[in-house]
Amino acid sequence: MKNVDLVVIGAGPAGMSAAISAYNSGAKDILILERDSELGGILQQCIHNGFGLHKFNEELTGPEYAWRYLKKVQELKIPYLLGTMVTEITKDKKIIAINPSEGIFEIQAKAIILAMGCRERSKGALNIPGSRPVGVYSAGTVQKYVNLKGYLPGNEAVILGSGDIGLIMARRMTLEGAKVKAVCEIMPYSSGLARNIQQCLNDFDIPLKLSHTVVEIHGKSRLTGVTIAKVDENLKPIMDKKEYIPCDTLLLSVGLIPENELSKNIGIEFDSVTQGPVVDQNRQTTVPGVFACGNVLHVHDLVDYVSDEAEIAGKAAAHYLNQKAGETINIPIKTDGKIRYTVPQRFTEYKNTVLYFRTANVYSNATINVRDGDKIICSKKKRKLLPATMETITLTKEMISSVNSGCMSIELEVAEND
């Protein structure tokens, strides 16, 4: 069995950034495990631009953003294994992995950073009536086919869900010669970025049908069409407002789920909203020495924030290995429903912390209040809050140490609800 101080699972933007940050903070015995055949994770199939505006003040493509980190991993000579799938992590931090050259092998780690990312919600999660022909794909699968394999899976497509991957793929398929007939979104607003609605749909006259969903899939061996319908305010389809759209491909862009199968065996606590681990300001889970960052922790909208978060986790993992942990406290953060979740979910140390959060709905002219009982310890006004946009509020060490009630809460004061 190998012994390694710090094992990083996953070499996407989170894993690479965490490993670099851990190395720069003093951890020198690091091993990154990656199941794909190259470093970079999902960025390698995201060939469009728009990454890195916050981090590098430039608009990079996915592979270019990955390259910035990949180059550093190689320069620092941080060891990594490709084509290596972790199958189990035990409570005492033993990692069981498999690859073609070593077969099944074990690594004993002192600290672990979980950076496995997320995966797409699948057709099975949707319960759409109708048959199950060829031609129904998740948007990310089609992205891999088109951008990495050079295979366009159909000529006439309908996209269900207006998340960014769906919007990006509407443009990508159009550029490669397919006709995208409609993007249907069950909610009255898109979950994608406004600029992607413009540059991926409007630029190519692709209709965005808000408050619409697919109610039937047609076709026996190959998809021949879908029936779509408008939904009412309870998101129930209005069946007399149906429309049949002939198509040979249906793309699903209906949400992402943190990929935590490996983490479930370690005995860490989970957040039922994020579907990721509960972490503190250092992105340490409830099991000491196990850290999590990136989309395995909560789904981000910008990779720049993933890199930031991974830097925090990497640095903290190095400090953990050095036994540099400060005094420990436990202050959980409660949310009010209008705010769906926060990351971190608790504080174990008095430390300046950027609190990330998402709202449940679209809100205008809102005030975000962070409270200790009745006392407001920090507040921030926002003109517009969208569920698709991750928001932040910065708490200082002093604010956190002023908490007397043992618990912090974050609430939204709203003037109007759109």
Partner 1 sequence: MIKNLTCIVCPIGCNLEVEVEGNKVKRVSGNECKRGELYARSETVQPVRTLTTTVLTDDGRLLPVRTDKPIPKNLIFECMKEINRKTVSLPIKIGDVIIENIAKTGANIIASKNMG
- Contacts with partner 1, residue ranges (CB under 8 A): 44, 47-50, 53, 59, 61-64, 67, 147-150, 175-176, 193-195, 197-199, 202-203, 301-302, 389
**Min dist. Cβ of residue 299 to partner 1 (A):** 15
Q: Is the separation of the CB atoms in 20 and 78 below 8 Å? A: yes
> Is the Cβ of residue 9 or residue 193 nearer to partner 1 in the bound state?
193
> Is the Cβ of residue 62 or residue 140 nearer to partner 1 in the bound state?
62
Q: Is the separation of the CB atoms in 183 and 166 below 8 Å? A: yes
Q: Tell me, what amino acid is at 30?
A: I
Token pair of 280 as six digits: 């503190």
Q: Strands 179-185 and 85-89, how do they pair?
A: unpaired
Q: Is the separation of the CB atoms in 106 and 287 below 8 Å? A: no
Which residue, chain included where needed, has tokens 């993992």?
317
Neighbours of 340 (CB within 10 A): 16
What CA–CA distances, in Å, run from 16 to 70, 74, 120, 301?
A: 7, 10, 22, 18
SS3 16: helix
**Min dist. Cβ of residue 50 to partner 1 (A):** 7
**Min dist. Cβ of residue 175 to partner 1 (A):** 6
**Min dist. Cβ of residue 156 to partner 1 (A):** 18
Q: Could you tell me the end-to-end alpha-carbon distance of the chain, in angstroms, rounded to an integer?
A: 58
**Min dist. Cβ of residue 256 to partner 1 (A):** 17
> Is the Cβ of residue 253 or residue 284 nearer to partner 1 in the bound state?
253
CA distance 265 to 268: 8
> Is the Cβ of residue 24 or residue 61 nearer to partner 1 in the bound state?
61
> Is the Cβ of residue 64 or residue 216 nearer to partner 1 in the bound state?
64
Characterize 108-137 residue by residue with b for buried, 16 or more Cβ atoms within 10 angstroms of its Cβ, and e for exposed.
ebbbbbbbbbbebbebeeeebebeebebbb
| C-alpha dihedral sign at 411, 54, 121, 12 | negative
Strands (E), 232-304: 237-246, 249-252, 256-258, 290-292
> Is the Cβ of residue 199 or residue 367 nearer to partner 1 in the bound state?
199
Phi, then psi, of 228 in degrees rounded to 5:
-115, 155
Neighbours of 150 (CB within 10 A): 8
> Is the Cβ of residue 126 or residue 354 nearer to partner 1 in the bound state?
354
> Is the Cβ of residue 11 or residue 193 nearer to partner 1 in the bound state?
193
> Is the Cβ of residue 47 or residue 329 nearer to partner 1 in the bound state?
47
Q: Is the separation of the CB atoms in 114 and 124 below 8 Å? A: no
**Min dist. Cβ of residue 377 to partner 1 (A):** 27
Which residue, chain included where needed, has tokens 């941080």?
78
CA distance 120 to 368: 31
> Is the Cβ of residue 301 or residue 413 nearer to partner 1 in the bound state?
301
**Min dist. Cβ of residue 53 to partner 1 (A):** 5
Which residue, chain included where needed, has tokens 């065996």?
265
**Min dist. Cβ of residue 257 to partner 1 (A):** 22
**Min dist. Cβ of residue 208 to partner 1 (A):** 12
Token pair of 291 as six digits: 């850290």
**Min dist. Cβ of residue 63 to partner 1 (A):** 4
